[in-house]
Chain A
Amino acid sequence: MKVALLVTCVNDALFPETGKSVVRLLRRLGVDVDFPDAQTCCGQPMVNTGYLDEAVPVVRTFAKAFDGYDAIVTPSGSCAGSVRHQHGIVARRGNDERLAAASSKVFELSEFLVDVLGVEDVGAYFPHRVTYHPTCHSLRMLRVGDRPLRLLRAVRGIDLVELPAADECCGFGGTFALKNTDTSVAMGADKARHVRETGAEVLVAGDNSCLMHIGGLLSRQRSGVKVMHLADVLAGTEGER
């Protein structure tokens, strides 16, 4: 099986460590993951803001970059959702069905680990108090269910605490965070409050963009809570720490 990493533009440019974590984790599990260098972005920022014409060239680049792979793994529920559910819309706009070629091959990281590889215990070690926020697109667009939690529960040393009102949106929402910044921040403030209530040292989620928003608020409040991507937690082993 030829497996490609879709690192996503946000991780590529802002959170490269998460991309490295996925590579490390998958190699440890015996998957020889490749990074198709021609990839850029899934096109979601354009599609979700309404710029379909602008999304067409981006998705065309995407489809070409991932042509020939059997599976695409990505550390982002949101981007996986965009590839699976929105590339069809862009393909219609671009009048080219090949633009949607990747839709059926993409897996969010927890889906790939649990469904494709069939593992829940990935051999990770993380001796910290952690709470988990299930991001909306993982939860309601991809329906990953409790897969990320099953992976986290198998991590050695972890003290996993439940997040109150976990399935409520954090308020990031892509360009929503800028176009409706007051509402976005009001939603994020409630999420940050719930995170602090748990007493967790680390907030984990499957999307760095949501974490950038919640983490940005937690930092502004000087809460001391660290935000980490699920991949970064799963990649750590006892030997390294």
Chain B
Amino acid sequence: MTFLGMPPFPQAAREALGDTQLRRNLAHATATIRAKRAAVVAEVPEWEELRRAGAAIKDNTLRQLDRHLLRLERSLTDHGVTVHWARDAAEACDVVGRIARSHGVDEVVKVKSMATQEIGLNEALAAQGVTAWETDLAELVVQLGDDLPSHILVPAIHRNRAEIREIFLSKMEGTDPELSDEPAELAAAARRHLRQKFLSARMAVSGANFAVADTGTLVVVESEGNGRMCLTLPEILVSVVGIEKVVPTWADLDVFLQLLPRSSTGERMNPYTSTWSGVTPGDGPQEMHVVLLDNGRTRALADEIGRQALRCIRCSACLNVCPVYERTGGHAYGSVYPGPIGAILNPLLKGVGTDAQTDSLPYASSLCGACFDACPVRIDIPEVLVHLRSQVVDVRRGPRPHAEAVAMKAASWTLARSGRLRIAERVSAVFSRLGRRRLPGGRRAVTRLPWPGSLWTDARDLPAPPAESFRKWWRRDERS
């Protein structure tokens, strides 16, 4: 499954909003994780300082990204790792596929990774006859259900226990038909299925949460321990790492390993943090590759306001606090990166003006600012959204403006002189006797307008315009 051909956000959101089960699942899941996060963040008195430190480390690194990446390459190579550079998704998938084929491997186990989802690695490998098995429980549910991820941390957040049980029964070979929907039983069934894969697969594919330039260390932060299995059992390990994941030194992890678990799962510390620095003879994978992935990151880096999105540590706190995400779910964003970060990251990586779906994302927000407050690396998502909106408008400027552009030009003309506004208000006062409904307090309200007014009045009453504007009252009454 891929997100190709998704409709623009408003349309996709409308469909999702009609799914009451989905809305219940999401409201419950996000409320739970929001409360957990709020509690563990409140425990840390220096949380604001940590956020600032995290942002500063990332910004400083991004400022000299080339230098840090070359240093990372050297450290990795010194520790026996083969480093590959991939400009885009196709190049990255090609590298991984070639490694698999060169070893005659037709099955790989995967550590949960956003970068590999971003490049559509599973589909690309399948096309080359290699099956990729997701080992993260939620990713497995999505994969078996032939479904799409809808959350960064919990890709199957849109599913409840009963739905997961159905998926396991119909899609996971050898599942006991007596399986209940108790979480412990579901996890045990998945474990039995995955154990076989861990023991048989000769190659693993991972991402990395961080890559330390100094030491050539990759870091994976996880909850289940399935990642640790993939990182230790197979002979070959390939890690696909976005170039923005580099941090200069091991000491920098101190900040991020405090920020990430609290923001992400709402835990003080996550259960499993795996770090590895190249090949250790006789212990773990004996052949290691790192694919350093650009895929639009240098484009984002070139955008002075947008580049802060590259600080993102993929914690999903912004999704969990977003009132839009909570109601529409992740699929409506048409990308493996949904929610507020998706609304900025996708246009930044792909560039605005490429397709209507991407261009609709910066508008998928009420600009309420909850995401910025929750973000552990202080990405000012509303600022970037507004910035990207201006890019969308600017690429569409042309000789034949569409209805919205005409309306904005007319508004701009009217609002450029108070005399023009006064005339517009005098015209609108003509409609002050419009509408039969009375609002509490007695004011008239309009309940039905033709398009585009219907966009408002289909669901909301609108107060009728007053007989006299404020400025008219002031002129008459107050100006001495």
Asked if A173 and B368 sit within 8 Å, CB to CB, the answer is: yes
Query: Is A220 positioned at the interface, with any CB of B under 8 Å from its CB?
Result: yes
Chain A residues in 8 Å Cβ range of B103 = none
* Given A49-B408, A174-B367: A9 touches B478 (CB 8 Å cut-off): no
Which residue on chain A has the smallest CB distance to residue B373? A140
CA distance A187 to B408 in the complex (A): 26
Query: Is B268 positioned at the interface, with any CB of A under 8 Å from its CB?
Result: no
Max chain B C-beta neighbours (<10 A), residue from A51, A52, A65, A220: A51
Which residue on chain A has the smallest CB distance to residue B428? A13
* Given A136-B368, A186-B327, A226-B441: A13 touches B469 (CB 8 Å cut-off): yes
Asked if A182 and B10 sit within 8 Å, CB to CB, the answer is: yes
Looking at the complex, which one of A60, A181, A215 makes contact with B439 (CB distance below 8 Å)?
A215
CA distance A235 to B107 in the complex (A): 73
Asked if A136 and B461 sit within 8 Å, CB to CB, the answer is: no
Asked if B415 and A40 sit within 8 Å, CB to CB, the answer is: yes
| Total number of residue pairs linking A and B with CB closer than 8 Å | 209
Max chain A C-beta neighbours (<10 A), residue from B370, B394, B416, B447: B416
Query: Is B436 positioned at the interface, with any CB of A under 8 Å from its CB?
Result: no
Chain A residues in 8 Å Cβ range of B364 = 180, 183
B residues 364-387 touching A (CB-CB < 8 Å): 364-370, 372-373, 386-387
- Residues 412-456 of B, flagged 1 when their CB comes within 8 A of A and 0 if not, give 111111100100110010000000010111000101000010011
Asked if A58 and B470 sit within 8 Å, CB to CB, the answer is: no
Closest chain-A Cβ to B22's Cβ sits at a distance in Å of: 12
Asked if B462 and A136 sit within 8 Å, CB to CB, the answer is: no
Query: Is B239 positioned at the interface, with any CB of A under 8 Å from its CB?
Result: no
Looking at the complex, which one of A9, A177, A216 makes contact with B421 (CB distance below 8 Å)?
A9
Asked if B437 and A171 sit within 8 Å, CB to CB, the answer is: no
Which residue on chain B has the smallest CB distance to residue A51? B408
Chain B residues in 8 Å Cβ range of A41 = 415, 421
Query: Is A149 positioned at the interface, with any CB of B under 8 Å from its CB?
Result: no
Chain A residues in 8 Å Cβ range of B14 = 182
Asked if B370 and A35 sit within 8 Å, CB to CB, the answer is: no
Asked if B456 and A58 sit within 8 Å, CB to CB, the answer is: no
Query: Is B9 positioned at the interface, with any CB of A under 8 Å from its CB?
Result: yes
Count B-side interface residues using an 8 Å CB cutoff.
71
Query: Is B278 positioned at the interface, with any CB of A under 8 Å from its CB?
Result: no
CA distance A7 to B472 in the complex (A): 13
Closest chain-A Cβ to B453's Cβ sits at a distance in Å of: 9
Asked if A219 and B393 sit within 8 Å, CB to CB, the answer is: no
Query: Is B63 positioned at the interface, with any CB of A under 8 Å from its CB?
Result: no
- Mostly, the A contact residues are helix
A residues 146-181 touching B (CB-CB < 8 Å): 167-169, 171-181
Counting contact residues on chain A (CB < 8 A from B), the size range is 35 or more
* Given A45-B411, A46-B411, A225-B440: A183 touches B328 (CB 8 Å cut-off): yes
Looking at the complex, which one of A14, A61, A172, A184 makes contact with B416 (CB distance below 8 Å)?
A61
Closest chain-B Cβ to A32's Cβ sits at a distance in Å of: 11
Looking at the complex, which one of A60, A176, A226 makes contact with B366 (CB distance below 8 Å)?
A176
Looking at the complex, which one of A61, A177, A215 makes contact with B417 (CB distance below 8 Å)?
A61
Query: Is A127 positioned at the interface, with any CB of B under 8 Å from its CB?
Result: no
Query: Is B85 positioned at the interface, with any CB of A under 8 Å from its CB?
Result: no
Query: Is A63 positioned at the interface, with any CB of B under 8 Å from its CB?
Result: no
* 8 CB-based A-B contacts, threshold 8 Å: A13-B421, A14-B466, A35-B474, A50-B388, A50-B392, A213-B460, A216-B459, A226-B440
Which residue numbers of A lie inside 8 Å of B, CB to CB?
7, 9, 11-17, 19-20, 23, 35, 37-41, 43, 45-52, 54-55, 57-58, 60-61, 65, 86, 89, 136-137, 139-141, 167-169, 171-188, 212-213, 215-217, 219-220, 224-226
Which residue numbers of B lie inside 8 Å of A, CB to CB?
9-10, 13-14, 17, 323-324, 327-328, 362-370, 372-373, 386-394, 404-405, 408-409, 411-418, 421, 424-425, 428, 437, 439-441, 445, 447, 452, 455-456, 458-463, 465-466, 468-471, 473-475, 478-479
Query: Which 6 pairs from chain A and chain B are nearest by CB?
Result: A173-B366, A216-B460, A50-B389, A169-B368, A140-B369, A54-B412
